Chains A and B, each alone.
Chain A
Amino acid sequence: MTARRAGRQLHGGKVTYAVLILFTAGSLFPLLWTAVAASRNNTRLAQTPPPFWFGGNLLKNLGTAWTDANMGTALLNTTVVATTVAAGTVVFSTVAGFAFAKLRFRAKRLLLLLVIGTMMVPPQLGVVPLFMTIAELEWTDHLQAVILPTLVSAFGVFFMRQYLLRALPTELIEAARTDGANSWRVVWHVVFPAARPAMAVLGLLTFVQAWNDFFWPIIALTQNGSPTVQVALTGLGRGFIPDQSVIMAGALLGTLPLLIAFVLFGKQIVGGIMQGAVKG
C-alpha cells in the first residue's frame, strides 16, 4: 500500500520545502506584522528600521481601538450578520441542491443553468437600485440591509448539488418515501443528515465571506449607525494624525476571530474550497 502510494506520488525535495516555506512566510508575515505594529506606538512606527518584534502597547492600543471605533458593537454586528447569512445560505442551498441533485421536475436543466449563470453576475452591478430600495424601506444602517441580499448563493446551491449527487444514495430517499415520508420529511430525516459535512464546510466558507464583505456594507451601513467590523475599520484612520498602531490593533481585532476559526477548522475550509473547485 505504502509502496504503491509512494510510487504514485513523488516526494517533495528540499527545494520544494524551501520554496513552500518562503511562500508560507510571505503569507503569514503581514498578519504577524499587524500584531507587531499593534503592539508598538505611533512614534516607534515612524522610525527606521521598522520594528520586527513585539512591544508593550498591545493592550493599550486594543483598548483605544475598541472604544474609538466602537469595536464591541461592530464585532457583535458582524457576528450576527455572518451567522445569519451562513445559516440561511446553508439551509436554502441544501434544499435547492437536493432538488437539483435528486428530484425530477420540469425545466430542471434550464433552471440549473440559470443558477450557474447567476454566478457570473457580480452583485455589485445592482448596487444603485439596491441602495434605493433599502433607502425606501428605511433599512439604511439596519443589519437586514446587508443580510437579506446575501442570504442565498448560487455557488452554495451548486456546491450542495455536487455533494448530494455523490453522497446521498437515491435508494435511501426511495426507502423513506416507501415508508410514507413526504418530501419535507425526506429533507429533514434523510437529506440534512447526509449533507451535514458539506453543510458545515459551506457554512464556514460563507461565514468567512460574510465576515469580510466590504463593498455593500460600506454603502448600506455607516460608522455612526450599526457598522460591521469592516466598516468600523475604515473609521479608525480618520484623525488628523492617524495613529497607525491603533489602526493595526483594530485590524487585528477584526481578523482575529477568523484566524481562530482557521486554526480550528483550517483543514475543513481547505477541503471545502478544493471540493467546490473541482467542477468549476
Chain B
Amino acid sequence: MAGRTPRPASSAAAPAPDPAANGSPGRTGAASGLGRTGGTDSLAADRARARRSRRYRRDLRWSPYAFIAPFFLFFAAFGLFPLLYTGWAALHRVELTAPTDMEWAGLRNFTRLLGDDFFWNALGNTFVIGVISTVPQLLMALGMAHLLNYRLRGSTFFRVALLTPYATSVAAATLVFVLIFGRDYGLVNWLLSTIGVDGVDWENGSWSAKLAVSTIVIWRWTGYNALIYLAAMQAIPHDLYESAALDGASRWQQFRYVTVPSLRPTILFTCVVSTIGAMQLFGEPLLFSGSAGATGGADHQYQTLGLYLYEQGWVNLHLGRASAIAWTMFLILLVVAAVNALIARRLRRGD
C-alpha cells in the first residue's frame, strides 16, 4: 500500500520539497508514509528513492516520445499510409463503385496517362496558371512588404486589410469573381466598356479563363505572402542599410542590393509553398464554371491536375487512374523540391 503512495509530485498544491532532501524532517509523501508503517526507516526510504528515481528516469526517457506520438500516429494514418497506398492503387484497376475490388494493372494507368491528351492539357494548364498567378503574386507581395516596412500611420489596419482575402474561402471568393468576370453584366467587362474595349468572354476563352482563375489566386494570397516577406524584412539588420546609404545607394538600390538578397531564403520558401499550392489548385477552377464542373470549362481550358484527378476519380469513377494522377503530382513535387534544394545550395555557396 505504502509502495503505491503517490509520486513526490502528489503534494502538488504545495510545492513538494526537494527529493534530495529526503532524510530531513520535511519528508516527501512516500517516505513519511513508509515511516509511519514502522519499517526500517532508512532501508524503506532507500527503496522508495530508488523507485522514484527509476520512475523519474523512465519518465525522462519515454515521455518525449509520448508527446510526439500523436503527431506521428495521425500523420502515419492520414498522411503517409494514404500516400503510399495511392501508389499501390495506381497499379490497379479500381472503380469507385467497388473500391475493394482491385485488379492488378501494372503500369497501365500511368502509360494511359502519358497517351491522354486531357492529362497533358491539365498539366499544361496547371503550369500556366501556376506561373501567371505565382509570379505577379510574389512580386506584388514583395512590393507591398517593402511599403509596409516603412513607418506608417495605421500600419495594423493595412496589414489586417491586406490579409482579409486570406480569410475568404475558395468557394466564396470564386463565386464573387465569377460574377465580377461575367460576360454580359460583369464588373470587369463594364469597366472595359467605359474605356471603349469590347467585353471579353472570360470563361470561354482559353487565356482569359486562365487569367481570371489566376486573379482569384492572386487576390487571396498576395497579402499573406506580403506579411511573410515583411517578417523577413524586419529581421534584416539595419546597419546594412546604413552602410549602403553611406556608400550613396539610392532607395531603389538599397532594395535591390540589400533587401532582396537578404530575403532570398524567404523568397525561395514562398516559391516552394506557392508551387505546392499551384499544383493542388482545385476549388477555383471547379467553381469558376457555373455548370461544367470538373471539366474545367467547355474546352477543358482551365482544367488543372487537381480537377482532372477529381474528374477521373469522382465523376468517371476510376480511382486507379486518379491515384496514378496523384502519384504523378507527387513525383513532380519531388522534382520541384530537388531543384529547390539545388538552388538553395547554390545560393548558399554564392554567399
Chain A interfacial positions (CB closer than 8 Å to B): 5-6, 8-13, 16-17, 19-20, 23-24, 26-28, 30-31, 33-34, 37, 45-50, 92-93, 95-96, 98-100, 103-105, 108, 111, 114-115, 118, 120-133, 135-136, 148-152, 154, 157, 178-185, 187, 208, 211-212, 214-215, 218-219, 229-230, 233-234, 237, 242, 244, 247-248, 250-252, 254-255, 258-259, 261-262, 266-267, 269-270, 273-275, 277-278, 280
Whether B16 pairs with A180 at a CB distance below 8 angstroms is: yes
Contact of B180 among A30, A118, A124, A234 (CB under 8 A): A30
Additional A-B contact list (7), CB under 8 Å, known A50-B187, A266-B160: A20-B148, A31-B164, A95-B68, A128-B86, A180-B9, A183-B59, A255-B167
Name the residue on B nearest A261 (C-beta).
Answer: B167
- A-B contacts counted at CB < 8 A amount to 331
B323 vs chain A, min Cβ distance (A): 5
Contact of A214 among B140, B163, B170, B279 (CB under 8 A): B170
A248 to B266: give the CA distance in the assembly, Å: 37
Taking CB atoms, residues of chain A closer than 8 Å to B11 are 180
Contact of B151 among A10, A28, A269 (CB under 8 A): A10
A247 to B290: give the CA distance in the assembly, Å: 11
Q: A24-B162, A259-B167 are in contact. Are A121 and B83 (CB under 8 A)?
A: yes
Whether A274 pairs with B230 at a CB distance below 8 angstroms is: yes
Taking CB atoms, residues of chain B closer than 8 Å to A274 are 227-228, 230-231, 234
Taking CB atoms, residues of chain A closer than 8 Å to B238 are 8-9
Q: A16-B147, A47-B185, A215-B306 are in contact. Are A125 and B70 (CB under 8 A)?
A: no
Whether B86 pairs with A125 at a CB distance below 8 angstroms is: yes
A126 to B135: give the CA distance in the assembly, Å: 28
Q: Is B64 an interface residue (CB 8 A)?
A: yes
Q: Is B265 an interface residue (CB 8 A)?
A: yes
Whether A23 pairs with B184 at a CB distance below 8 angstroms is: no
Taking CB atoms, residues of chain B closer than 8 Å to A92 are 70-71, 74
Q: Which size bracket describes the interface of B in this complex?
A: 35 or more
Whether B161 pairs with A122 at a CB distance below 8 angstroms is: no
Whether B159 pairs with A270 at a CB distance below 8 angstroms is: yes
Whether B169 pairs with A214 at a CB distance below 8 angstroms is: yes
Contact of B227 among A24, A181, A270 (CB under 8 A): A270
Whether A180 pairs with B7 at a CB distance below 8 angstroms is: yes
Whether A111 pairs with B68 at a CB distance below 8 angstroms is: yes
Whether B74 pairs with A152 at a CB distance below 8 angstroms is: yes
Q: A122-B280, A148-B74 are in contact. Are A98 and B9 (CB under 8 A)?
A: no
Q: Is B269 an interface residue (CB 8 A)?
A: yes
22 A-B residue contacts at CB 8 Å?
A6-B151, A23-B140, A24-B158, A28-B164, A30-B165, A34-B172, A34-B176, A37-B176, A104-B64, A120-B333, A124-B309, A136-B100, A154-B71, A157-B68, A182-B9, A182-B59, A233-B172, A242-B290, A270-B159, A274-B228, A274-B230, A280-B273
Name the residue on B nearest A15 (C-beta).
Answer: B147
Majority-rule SS of B interface residues: helix
Whether A27 pairs with B63 at a CB distance below 8 angstroms is: no
Whether A215 pairs with B152 at a CB distance below 8 angstroms is: no
B243 vs chain A, min Cβ distance (A): 14
A262 to B55: give the CA distance in the assembly, Å: 47
Whether A126 pairs with B333 at a CB distance below 8 angstroms is: no
B28 vs chain A, min Cβ distance (A): 7
Taking CB atoms, residues of chain B closer than 8 Å to A135 are 99
A256 vs chain B, min Cβ distance (A): 10
Whether A27 pairs with B165 at a CB distance below 8 angstroms is: yes
Q: Is B89 an interface residue (CB 8 A)?
A: yes
CB neighbors of A among B292-351 (8 A): 306, 309-310, 313-314, 319, 322-323, 326-327, 329-330, 333, 337
Whether A124 pairs with B306 at a CB distance below 8 angstroms is: yes
Q: Is B104 an interface residue (CB 8 A)?
A: no
Whether A258 pairs with B167 at a CB distance below 8 angstroms is: yes
B240 vs chain A, min Cβ distance (A): 12
Whether A273 pairs with B326 at a CB distance below 8 angstroms is: no
A195 vs chain B, min Cβ distance (A): 13
A6 vs chain B, min Cβ distance (A): 7
Taking CB atoms, residues of chain B closer than 8 Å to A47 are 185
Taking CB atoms, residues of chain A closer than 8 Å to B81 are 126, 129
A98 vs chain B, min Cβ distance (A): 6
Contact of B64 among A50, A103, A151, A278 (CB under 8 A): A103
A160 vs chain B, min Cβ distance (A): 11
Q: Is B1 an interface residue (CB 8 A)?
A: no
